[in-house]
Amino acid sequence: MRQTGPSCRICRREETKLFLKGERCLKAKCAIDRDRGIPGVHKKSRAKLSDYGVQLRAKQKIRKHYGLGERQFRKVFGTASQKKGITSFMLLVLLEMRLDNIVYRMGFAPSRAQARQMVTHGHIRVNGRRVNVPSFTLKAGDVIELKVAERSSALAVKNIEITENINKIPEWISFDKDAKKGQIVRLPEQGEIQPPADEQLVVELYSK
């Protein structure tokens, strides 16, 4: 099921900033900074959660942070569980290496939702070829750049200016602002990805 409804309401539901609206999340209008509380709840905090509830909320925060539906998120988890290494960390790596996330990380878009739209509309090339699948998984050495078109370039310039104050490009990505081109230098290492919740709780939830 696709994530729909007002983005700020989603952050209020999870009681944390998920940075779903780009620059707005850093302004005074942010619903979390204004302490508006949980939608439909007439007090500032919910009742104490069970262990299952804590695990579920952690999964929801991470899933919504990356903008994935439940079925899609579970599929990524299934792939992570089959890889060598710590499943919880491999889950984060796979989420980070999605094309829509990398487009967002490089600053081509102020939010993952807009990054996904840029990919589906054909504005992004990977290793010289157009890729319009947001879930496309990148690997070390891949080069991501804008399609050579006036519209694509104008859109990127505007977004890069907006996102410079929002996004800090990770060390595992190299980015040439003038050329509007980036490259995956290496895969992220443990400690370099900061999810909005404890990823190990997702493993515990899906292991039941």
Q: Domain 7-95+195-206 falls in which CATH fold?
A: Ribosomal Protein S4 Delta 41; Chain A, domain 1 (1.10.1050)
CATH superfamily ID and name for 98-184 = RNA-binding S4 domain (3.10.290.10)
**pLDDT tens figures, 143-180:** 999 887 666 677 777 777 777 766 788 999 999 988 88
| b/e burial code for range 90-113 (CB count within 10 A of at least 16 → b) | bbbbbbbbbbbbbbbbbbbbbbbb
Which whole number is the average pLDDT over 183-206? 96
CA distance between the termini of the chain: 22
pLDDT at site 31: 52
pLDDT at site 159: 77
Which of 37-46, 95-104, 153-162 is predicted least confidently?
Answer: 37-46
| Mean pLDDT over the full length of the chain | 84
pLDDT at site 194: 92
Q: Is the pLDDT of residue 72 over 90?
A: yes
Largest CA distance in the chain: 53
pLDDT at site 35: 57
Q: Is the pLDDT of residue 28 over 90?
A: no
Residue 114 CA from chain centroid, whole number: 11
- Rounded Cα distance between 139 and 184, Å, is 7
Q: Is the pLDDT of residue 79 over 50?
A: yes
Q: Which of 116, 172, 122, 113 is nearest to 145 (CA)?
A: 122
Spans of all domains in the chain:
7-95+195-206, 98-184
pLDDT at site 189: 96
Which whole number is the average pLDDT over 53-64? 95
pTM, whole model, 2 decimals? 0.79
